[in-house]
Amino acid sequence: MIFTGTSVCGGTAVAPALLYAPAELAVRRERLSTADVSAELERYEQAVAQAGRELEELRARFAGEHEAQGKIFDAHREILEDEEIVAAIRLAISEEKKCCAWAVESVCQMYAGLFEQLEDPLLRERSADVRDVGGRLLRACLGAAQVSLARLPRPCILVAHDLLPSDTAALDRENVLGIVTEVGGATCHSAIIARSYDIPAVLGVAHITERIRDGEELVLDADQGQVISSPTPAQRESFQRLREEGLVRRAQAAQWRDRPCRSRDGVEIAVGLNVADPTPGELEALGSAADFIGLFRTEFLYMGRDRLPTEEEQFQRYKALLLRAGDKPVTLRTLDIGADKPLSCYPRPREENPALGLRGLRLCLADRELFRAQLRAALRASVYGRLQIMFPMVGGVEDFMAARSVVEEVEEELRRERVSFREGLPLGAMIEVPSAALMAGALAARADFASIGTNDLSQYLLAADRTNPEVAPCCQSFHPAVFRLIQLAVSAFSDAGKPISVCGELGGEPLSTAVLVGLGIRKLSMSLSRISGVKMLLARHSVPELEALAEQVCASSTAEEVSACLRGRIT
């Protein structure tokens, strides 16, 4: 039987299934007597202390090499100590007379449910963090044993309805050869950890836990987003060979990480990093593996807090990154939030169609004070490094020129205040709305640079919500229409002598980078884990060869034709 889902980390695995579900905890739902309230409040404080110790131990395991995983437990500590959640639990015990476990369960379910209603996938994933912390607290309240995936008896493909952040962060990396879940997408914790550990993973495979047995042999073809149960001997042998070849390729690719990125005929391609709150590993790579920061997502400064960050707070964070980057360019993307990315510190009315609503640059232009505070901080920090500013969700020339005028107003304001900033700061546009790609010629006459966000560009071009499992298969990033539109934008900026890069998922997928270089792209920005594979692949092909490939791709009629073309000609 073949199951399909969303591939979030490519590769192949052949192993028995390990069906996993967290332990069911029985909660007594009886009202307390007034005399018992104090004891239950004390039990809650003890549970918080125990959960805090566990999180500290987990955090210590990931210090340094796996800092991104460690930050999951920093976020969990914040939830554990969140004033609103703590107050709500204590109130449920003292006023509603619920026992400690019942209070924790009900309050955490309520807050997780609130996050689940949000449109933005990144914020919606916070519900998993709340449930994770709630489960940890609940177990501490009940004195139940901890279930862990840190040490498993044999190699397996982990299959679950869902995985909590702490499940994925503490995985037994030696024995978990693949991950399959019934829910989740490209932005969830399971996806982030799978990519970080380079574990093949397919998520969003509906009802698979009901249709396979624990220990049943599986083939996980994460390149195609497929899971095969009870494979034939021929299938097993074929995919086992693919797995072994993939492991060899990964080992070979690792040797390319710190080398310059060049095509076989010596054409240089600049490789950059996409970062949010940069990890030590990412910052270290900036001096060796990466040439620049192509996308600095500033939203992380606004998330998980009850008030907006001040201009000074933003200035200090931007300054610190620029100082660490040294002479490497840093492209700061201005705030990319909106009705589909609601923040607790910036409440907005709910919209019927948030993906097409007030978001990104549109929101910043509608709230000039929010926009000006960020621009002031960025301009003040610009004297400490090579900063560029890029605007998200640019619909066309009018949007870009409106944003540029706000920058000029802020610059004039800083001059009057005798505050230093770097004059002539490069200003660029994200090309992720089809109208911007079609008007790239006019944009190139006004913008200093551009970067193509292929995730949203594919979504809007193909009219398919990439976060909706029902239509996600329709959001085909390898669709020839996507490459044709990219070709238009690249040609316009190249003709104008302006730099253009790709910072979306296509920019870190080795097969698609071959096409992008063939289309004329000479700057790619991606996550750190993708750099080695991209460098190795591009080194094997000449630019004329890739140009011929890109021409064939753009002449294709379907995404299937493009995939077949790439897999037949790119190694």
Identify the helix (H) or strand (E) that includes residue 221.
Answer: strand 217-221
SS3 382: helix
Q: Which residues contact 564 (CB under 8 A, 6 or more apart)?
A: none
For the chain, the maximum distance between any two Cα atoms, rounded to a whole number of angstroms, is: 82
Distances (CA, A) of 361 to 333, 334, 448, 465: 10, 8, 17, 20
CA distance 467 to 452: 19
Using alpha carbons, select from 184, 127, 171, 128 the residue that is nearest to residue 5. Answer: 184
CA distance 23 to 220: 26
At 310, list the tokens. 């001040």
At 7, list the tokens. 């591939």
Paired strand residues for 156: 176
Q: What is the DSSP string of 407-461?
A: HHHHHHHHHHTT----TT--EEEEE-SHHHHHTHHHHHTT-SEEEE-HHHHHHHH
**Could you tell me how far CA 214 lies from the centroid of its own chain?**
31
* Residue in 76, 100, 188, 189 annotated catalytic: 189
* Residue in 188, 261, 503, 554 annotated catalytic: 503
CA distance 547 to 340: 38
CA distance 560 to 5: 17
**Could you tell me how far CA 269 lies from the centroid of its own chain?**
24
CA distance 20 to 157: 10
- Measured CA angle at 269 (ends 263, 270), to 5 deg: 150
- Measured CA angle at 464 (ends 462, 469), to 5 deg: 145
Using alpha carbons, select from 487, 479, 486, 484 the residue that is nearest to residue 504. Answer: 486
Runs of H (alpha helix) within 95-164: 100-116, 121-124, 126-142
CA distance 148 to 389: 44
At 116, list the tokens. 């689940």
Q: What is the DSSP string of 527-566?
A: -GGGHHHHHHHHHTS-HHHHHHHHHHHHT-SSHHHHHHHH
503 is catalytic: yes
Whether 263 and 545 have beta carbons less than 8 Å apart is answered as no
Q: Which residues contact 114 (CB under 8 A, 6 or more apart)?
A: 127
At 301, list the tokens. 């400064």
SS3 488: helix
At 251, list the tokens. 């080992």
Active site residues: 189, 503
